[in-house]
Structure 1
């Protein structure tokens, strides 16, 4: 058996509704205090109702939890795996209560967000602190490092992008544009520069691996919040329209900013972007996210082993991310507008 400095692994995710009646309460949880217009919530709620009122993210977390447990068992890691969410059941504080009752004293947290920045990283640390404050004598929780450039994340992205290119007709494949997408964030959000740098780093790496000189772009999707607040651009729909105007005939959309095919991938790309491309006559394929790819699942174990002195692999040009942010890094700025709604 592999010795670990932890009693458990905590899988920490965003959460999502699983019944139509839960959609608006969930969206209200996500956007509380952010000034998101009611009309925007109602619009996003329709995304969920398009899929029967349920987000796929919770089932994806169940599948990932089961895959991690199987990987641990096959590789001599004797740790229980728990799952808690930021915005919907099972809520993180409830999971910590169960962990405490089970005798867990110290856990490592694997977050289903691969990047730096406030909403991707620091906000999860705040979630952990807030949930621990609700539970007397709660277990200690250490968040595992940012992993956007770990081979276990990058390799599935490359494999899935290559597969998407292969689904294009042969006469379109060689000239197809790679369009990497990530969740937009407000320009005022702390850590935004690191987030953009990391997205550019992995996008360039994937594109270069698939063929030197292949054109690629980094665009954004799924913005929310008041229209007056500037967010990262260009928007993926605007960009597809521009590509069509430039005479581009085919594109592969790579949701590099996402770990799994949750609502913002399934609706914003598979419905909205696909419908737009169809009207334009632009052929697109969408690459799958890592999900439960065996290499991605094994990465979770490797990140755990790092905490006990194992090698810290990293691809691209920025090197391995640290275990902990520098003091004050990505902390909430009073004027920053946060936003993720699905």
Structure 2
């Protein structure tokens, strides 16, 4: 059974290399049009080499699709599901071609990005437009709303934070660093990214029953040092906490929904190493991944977009985002030389 007018489902994500030979071509796709030399990309490739040249992101997305299929079946839906990526196989363009060739007319799209920014929101709209423009009579594809303040996204994150604290035998007063991908300040200034992160961090802390300080810190910045990005970085903040005689900290990757490379390298390898060097016990909480609340939320959002649910729950002061973004939201940042 379809979900309202939707006869198919597309999970849209960033993509990642599946083996050592994929790494450099993947990185060239990610940085296409930015003039980044291979010498700089080779430095990033070394991070992938630590994990066998494979990013876990595609496998994690397949796991998520499997969990989504199970939840669809529980609710009595039989909806074919597809995976499409921005930067690696299976590419979004190939997924759209499959949808068209198999005769699907109306596709609902879930994006593996919870917060609003150009790279995390608007650019995925552009990716869909480009992919559809290359196909004759493509299906109508509609994204669900950005879900950063949905009660079940925040609730799942809070459960994982609380469970991690208890498992590590840490106090409720332990400081929490909520991490997210850093962005160029010019990009962040054109969206609600920082405001959304700050409110989400506060809500997750409250739901988890935490009593100590919490703040948003950033990770995974790239590009030349001359371009200002959001700060503070988690690495710098850990050193500052050590200087303040803080010996324990919870690190919650709020800005990510899966334990992919930004989590495994930037947090579990790099930040963890700095914490150990400075004598801090760092406990990193899991991402929402395939948490039952998160998966159920995905289907709720599809039912919302299909007009089958009147409730549009959200937490905090900003309210739910519309299913269709405003035409001027999260515009692309200007780049040097443009």
- TM normalised by structure 1 equals 0.94
Q: Which residue of 2 aligns with 1:69?
A: 69
Give yes or no for contact 1:118–1:191 (8 Å, CA) kept in 2: no
Q: Which residue of 1 aligns with 2:266?
A: 268
Q: Which residue of 2 aligns with 1:93?
A: 93
After superposition, the C-alpha distances for 1:93-151 in whole angstroms (9 at most, x for unaligned) are 11111111111111010000001110110000000001111112111111110001112
Residues of 2 paired with 1:124 and 1:195: CA distance?
A: 16
Give yes or no for contact 1:167–1:285 (8 Å, CA) kept in 2: no
Q: Which residue of 2 aligns with 1:286?
A: 284
Q: Which residue of 1 aligns with 2:203?
A: 205
Q: Which runs of 5+ in 1 are unaligned?
A: 338-342
Give yes or no for contact 1:35–1:226 (8 Å, CA) kept in 2: no
Give yes or no for contact 2:191–2:329 (8 Å, CA) kept in 1: no
Q: Which runs of 5+ in 2 are unaligned?
A: none
Q: Which residue of 2 aligns with 1:340?
A: none
Residues of 2 paired with 1:64 and 1:182: CA distance?
A: 21
Q: Once the 2 structures are TM-superposed, how far is the Cα of residue 334 of structure 1 from its aligned partner?
A: 3.2
Give yes or no for contact 2:172–2:209 (8 Å, CA) kept in 1: no
- The aligned length equals 335
Q: Which residue of 2 aligns with 1:140?
A: 140
Greater shift after overlay, 94-103 or 189-198?
Answer: 189-198
Residues of 1 paired with 2:159 and 2:173: CA distance?
A: 19
Residues of 2 paired with 1:203 and 1:192: CA distance?
A: 20
After superposition, the C-alpha distances for 1:160-185 in whole angstroms (9 at most, x for unaligned) are 1111211334xx52431100000001
Instruction: Summarize the Cα distance change of 1:9–1:178 in structure 2 as closer, same or farther, 3 Å threshold.
Output: same
Cα root mean square deviation, aligned: 1.6
Residues of 2 paired with 1:54 and 1:328: CA distance?
A: 36
Q: How does 1:329-340 map to 2 (within 5 A)?
A: 329-335=329-335
Structure 1 counterpart SS, 2:65: helix
- TM normalised by structure 2 equals 0.95
Q: Once the 2 structures are TM-superposed, how far is the Cα of residue 193 of structure 1 from its aligned partner?
A: 4.1
**Which runs of structure 1 show a deviation greater than 6 angstroms over 4 or more consecutive aligned residues?**
none
Residues of 2 paired with 1:260 and 1:135: CA distance?
A: 31
Q: Which residue of 2 aligns with 1:31?
A: 31
Matched, 1:127 2:127: yes
Give yes or no for contact 1:2–1:76 (8 Å, CA) kept in 2: no
